[in-house]
A and B are shown apart, each in its own frame.
Chain A
């Protein structure tokens, strides 16, 4: 009997625990913004009744802009972190994962910025 055999496992990076927790925190908060958004716009109002004037009316209330900002940030970060989680099942190399995270980050930043600028800029009624 020589040295006892020790199974060495590379621990998962601490950052993975933060991604994991982030999905749960945003998931909880989204109950407050996404369910109301879907129930009001898709079910009660009906998307077919929405037009530029409707959006302008909603955003006339600054609180609704804050609400939509929270909606944009929470849902989209949750979605992109979730997509990263799914892709990790298909991409295993550290370099591949790093590249994937960067691509997702760029898409997240560009689309979020578009949404944020529109919420701040408001409707351009022609």
Chain B
């Protein structure tokens, strides 16, 4: 086991914006996986303990979760798009790892993930407002 502090410092002090992409990829990945495990278990309730499923969904209808869910969707978008970038570079276009282009591609992924997320976030916020104003 290495000192976690050393590893974490390595994450943020190493190289250019690509390191930010790497860190965000890990954080969004861990966050989404954490939710995924909960989500698989709560969905399994529909078969094992149906009453508990309704209870779980009731929790998902709480305001903190509805707000968190909006950010969860960004995490999925970012992780997916950045993952696609890595896959395309690694498997088909290794020459695109060239420094200048790779740095540009990080900014593109950030911009596209936010642009795709905005309409989704808007729709989800609208749902939450409607739900909480009795719509």
Residues of A within 8 A of B (CB): 24, 27-28, 30-31, 34-35, 38-39, 42-44, 46-48, 50-52, 55-56, 72, 75-76, 79-80, 82-83, 86, 89-92, 96, 107, 111-112, 114-115, 117-118, 121-126
Contact = CB atoms under 8 A, between A and B. Distances in A.
B60 interface: yes
A76 B33 CA distance: 8
B79 to A, nearest CB: 9
B51 A126 contact: yes
A50 B57 contact: yes
Interface residues of B, number: 44
Contact of B44 (A43, A90, A117): A117
Contacts of B86: 24, 27
B99 interface: no
Contact of A46 (B44, B72, B127): B127
A72 B51 CA distance: 22
Given A89-B7, A90-B1, A122 B47 contact: yes
Contacts, number: 119
Nearest to A92: B2
B115 interface: no
Contact of B87 (A28, A44, A82): A28
Given A51-B54, A86-B30, A35 B80 contact: yes
A51 B53 CA distance: 8
Nearest to B128: A48
13 contacts: A24-B91, A31-B84, A42-B120, A48-B57, A55-B43, A56-B46, A90-B2, A91-B1, A114-B41, A118-B48, A122-B46, A123-B46, A123-B47
Interface string B23-67: 000100110110011001101111110110110010011000010
B124 interface: yes
A27 B87 contact: yes
Given A24-B87, A34-B80, A42-B69, A118 B36 contact: no
